[in-house]
Amino acid sequence: MKKITITDVAKHAGVSKSTVSQYLNERYDYMGGETKARIEAAIKELNYSPNFLARSLKQKKTNTIGVIVANILHVFSTQIIRAIQDYCSERNFHVIACNADDDPRKEKQFIEMLQAKQVDGIIVFPTGANKSLYQTLIMTNYPTVFIDRMVSGVGIDTVLLDNEKASKLAIQTFLMQGYQRIAMISPPLLPNITPRMERTTGYKQTITENGLSLRPEYIANVETTNVRDHLRKMLALREPPDAMLALNDLVLVEILHYMKENQLQIPKDLAIIGIDDVTFASVYNPALTTIAQPAFAMGKKAAELLLEKISNITKRREGIVYRFEPKIMRRDSV
Amino acid sequence: MKKITITDVAKHAGVSKSTVSQYLNERYDYMGGETKARIEAAIKELNYSPNFLARSLKQKKTNTIGVIVANILHVFSTQIIRAIQDYCSERNFHVIACNADDDPRKEKQFIEMLQAKQVDGIIVFPTGANKSLYQTLIMTNYPTVFIDRMVSGVGIDTVLLDNEKASKLAIQTFLMQGYQRIAMISPPLLPNITPRMERTTGYKQTITENGLSLRPEYIANVETTNVRDHLRKMLALREPPDAMLALNDLVLVEILHYMKENQLQIPKDLAIIGIDDVTFASVYNPALTTIAQPAFAMGKKAAELLLEKISNITKRREGIVYRFEPKIMRRDSV
DNA sequence: CTGTTAGCGCATTCAG
DNA sequence: CTGAATGCGCTAACAG
């Protein structure tokens, strides 16, 4: 079955290609009503649908955006993708999602690939390690918005959580409940992955602000696979922590595993708050107190910004940072 | 900053476009080593990258596939998407994921949209309600593979779980542990959504095969929002069930909610098995026994089939059904 | 070994 | 109101 083109339709309707083209683009200003009907009929009869590729090539617009997440394993990433997809879908944009796996090389490849595909813009969770590439994006005025992670010195609009506040909310909650020996476990601290840095800062700040002393032994930065080990060590201290902040969902799950394996009670043996509102938080036993990121709102905002950049050829000032407020979901783990 | 094209490169290198094109396609069979170097230099200097769109238009191949899931809310859908993406990514294919939201109209729109975009093929969780569209796909020999749901009378390759076996495994497990009053809760039974039908069949069959009588009051087909209500009714029966099969992840979560709200013990008050291996199954208290679908293998298989169809122009016989074995994850909820 | 010539399917002037 | 001509960026014969 041969693919039918605009030429076929034109022939079938007895008009010229350009007339059909005008019809397709709804510019029937001066088109004969009868002509219109004939074209309509021909299209239906031939079951014709225009080739977006050809159109895109000509119009230099693909109605597609790319999103590159740093690590798809986080709930947050998947929530963001969904939000973006929903928003774009309503506006007739398609999205191609890519997972950079926290690898700057992959990130670079994806960005280049997406550009080669002529996507109209990209939303990225930047690894932070491709500064010169980011510079090129901004120099060429390529519609881009960053999300989740802050890249300093590159003026690209960025949608972020107020990460310090996230930690602050958690610590304050612990304090209000009388916990004083508050620890935190984070994935490894890398300068480019700003959420962890900021959350750690928030933790430290809130601890000291409240007149508690900062104990280095209460802070762990470890790979997910080593979380349980470190937790064991912490709990074996002479003064073990009585409360624990899990810096993200993956860490939280590991902590829960450890608690379960060792038949420890939450919050009796250890109170827990996790940043990221995991799906099972409210059904868990006990229900988990979490700090939720407004992922849907953030994804929507990023998409909004991007589509706006895409349609407004006029370059507005860039580099604005949008901070979103975390929200504490009080449940029973503290 | 003007987009630079192959023409610019050719000019810059002092050769013709076609020579550059040949270089790009690695057909330097008889190309002068010096020419090659000049082109290479020009490309680097101009920071040129080819426009995939134009190439695709000419080659009638976009290196992109579409996947349409029926309902993105199920873990299974997201797992499948990931598996497909991973597989395709390695083979330089991109994937555009769409969520039909269980709406046949959306499904139709997406299929048409993706075809207009000239994607090389599609993988779909069929709603089942667009038979004539499916027929067209097969008639036009458009690379397509179905997954999760069976559509009868349409000869398209399909990747499925052995759903009857899934229920069977669950029921047998209950029986082995001495449970006799085994109920099940399913989302509404719709003829097109075959997994539910098959799982229900599996349930009924296994119950009767084991000499138990089928009690209609132990079978509920309800919207997610009504699961808790129905569960309440079941547990208020004179002979309430002592074991419960949750037909999918969404139902399972509702059941867990109810148990928690009413401070009921699992498995003491009600033993539970869920189909779909939710992420938190092993950390839950108690750890949840589930029937896992080999989502990764299934997604990979679907992608394999599709890419094979795409490369083999030769149409092989179609309509093969690939059944995958569910696996019981024995934990502590039964 | 390299350049010329045609399109791919569509949109856009610009004359009729 | 309509059609012929042109080009988007690239590939693919086919001659030189």
User: For residue range A262-277, what is the model confidence (pLDDT) as tens digits?
Assistant: 999 999 999 999 999 9
DSSP code of residue B229: H
Is residue A168 domain-shared with residue A288, that is, in the same domain? yes
More confident residue, A30 or B96: B96
Closest alpha carbon to B249 in B265, B217, B272, B219: B272
pLDDT at B312: 80
Is residue B231 domain-shared with residue B135, that is, in the same domain? no
Mean pLDDT estimate for chain A: 93
Find the CATH number of the domain harbouring B137: 3.40.50.2300
B31-53 pLDDT, tens per residue? 677 788 888 888 888 888 889 99
Would B55 be classed as within a structural domain? no
Residues of A with CB below 8 A from B140's CB?
Answer: 1
Query: Is it the case that residue A82 has pLDDT exceeding 80?
Result: yes
Would A36 be classed as within a structural domain? yes
Q: What is the nearest nucleotide to B55, using C1' and CA?
A: D10
pTM of the model: 0.92
Would A331 be classed as within a structural domain? no
B49-72 pLDDT, tens per residue? 889 999 999 989 999 999 999 998
pLDDT at B51: 92
Is residue B175 domain-shared with residue B278, that is, in the same domain? yes
Query: Is it the case that residue A175 has pLDDT exceeding 60?
Result: yes
Q: Which among B78, B278, B280 is the top mutation candidate for probing chain A, defined by the most A β-carbons within 10 Å of its own β-carbon?
A: B280
**B296 and B265 in contact (C-beta within 8 Å)?**
no
Closest alpha carbon to B149 in B302, B273, B281, B251: B302
pLDDT at B11: 83
Distance CA A81, CA A64 (A): 14
Distance CA A315, CA A143 (A): 9
| Mean per-residue pLDDT, A87-103 | 94
Q: What pLDDT band is residue A7 in, cutting at 50, 70 and 90?
A: confident
Residue of A nearest to B49 (CA): A116
Would B115 be classed as within a structural domain? yes
- With a pLDDT cut of 90, the percent of chain A lying above it is 78
pLDDT at B226: 98
pLDDT at B30: 63
The residues pairing with B290 across neighbouring beta strands, listed in sequence order, are: B274, B329
Distance B25 CA to D12 C1' (A): 12
Distance CA A43, CA A11 (A): 11
| Mean per-residue pLDDT, A216-233 | 97
- Measuring alpha carbon to C1', the residue closest to nucleotide D12 is B18
Query: Is it the case that residue A2 has pLDDT exceeding 70?
Result: no
Would A91 be classed as within a structural domain? yes
> Which region among B15-19, B74-78, B300-304, B326-330 has the lowest average model confidence (pLDDT)?
B15-19
A40-51 pLDDT, tens per residue? 888 888 888 889
Query: Is it the case that residue B2 has pLDDT exceeding 90?
Result: no
B149-192 pLDDT, tens per residue? 999 988 999 999 999 999 999 999 999 999 999 999 999 999 99
Would B145 be classed as within a structural domain? yes
Is residue A177 domain-shared with residue A272, that is, in the same domain? yes
**B76 and B46 in contact (C-beta within 8 Å)?**
no
pLDDT at B313: 63
Contact criterion met (CB < 8 Å) for B57 and A53: yes
pLDDT at A42: 86
Is residue A194 domain-shared with residue A284, that is, in the same domain? yes
Domain count, chain B: 3
Is residue B235 domain-shared with residue B179, that is, in the same domain? yes
Query: Is it the case that residue A169 has pLDDT exceeding 60?
Result: yes
Would A31 be classed as within a structural domain? yes
Is residue B187 domain-shared with residue B269, that is, in the same domain? yes
Mean pLDDT estimate for chain B: 93
Q: What pLDDT band is residue B1 in, cutting at 50, 70 and 90?
A: low
B281-320 pLDDT, tens per residue? 999 999 999 999 999 999 999 999 999 999 886 666 778 9
The count of CB pairs under 8 A between chains A and B is 101
| Mean per-residue pLDDT, A71-76 | 91
In angstroms, what separates the C-alpha of A143 from chain B's closest C-alpha?
13
Residue of B nearest to A82 (CA): B72
Is residue A245 domain-shared with residue A287, that is, in the same domain? yes
Distance A53 CA to D13 C1' (A): 24
Contact criterion met (CB < 8 Å) for A99 and B117: no
pLDDT at B91: 94
Nucleic strand D interface residues, CB < 7 Å: A 14-19, 22, 30-32, 35, 54, 57-58, 60; B 3, 5-7, 17-18, 21, 24-25, 50-51, 54-55, 57-59
Q: Which nucleotides of C are covered by protein (CB under 7 A)?
A: 1-14
Distance CA A302, CA A319 (A): 13
Distance CA B17, CA B6 (A): 6
User: Pairing between strand A144-147 and A121-124?
Assistant: parallel
Structure tokens at B137: 């796909």
Is residue B247 domain-shared with residue B285, that is, in the same domain? yes
Would B332 be classed as within a structural domain? no
More confident residue, A4 or B276: B276
More confident residue, B266 or A2: B266
> Which region among A149-158, A236-245, A288-297, B261-270 has the lowest average model confidence (pLDDT)?
A149-158
Is residue B269 domain-shared with residue B286, that is, in the same domain? yes
Q: What pLDDT band is residue A127 in, cutting at 50, 70 and 90?
A: very high
Domain carrying residue A37: 6-50
> Which region among A96-110, A200-214, B11-25, B88-102 has the lowest average model confidence (pLDDT)?
B11-25
Is residue A199 domain-shared with residue A231, that is, in the same domain? yes
Q: What pLDDT band is residue A307 in, cutting at 50, 70 and 90?
A: very high
**B154 and B317 in contact (C-beta within 8 Å)?**
no
Is residue A84 domain-shared with residue A139, that is, in the same domain? yes
More confident residue, A28 or A77: A77
Please provide the distance, in angstroms rounded to a whole number, between the alpha carbons at the two ends of chain A.
Answer: 65
- Measuring alpha carbon to C1', the residue closest to nucleotide C9 is A54
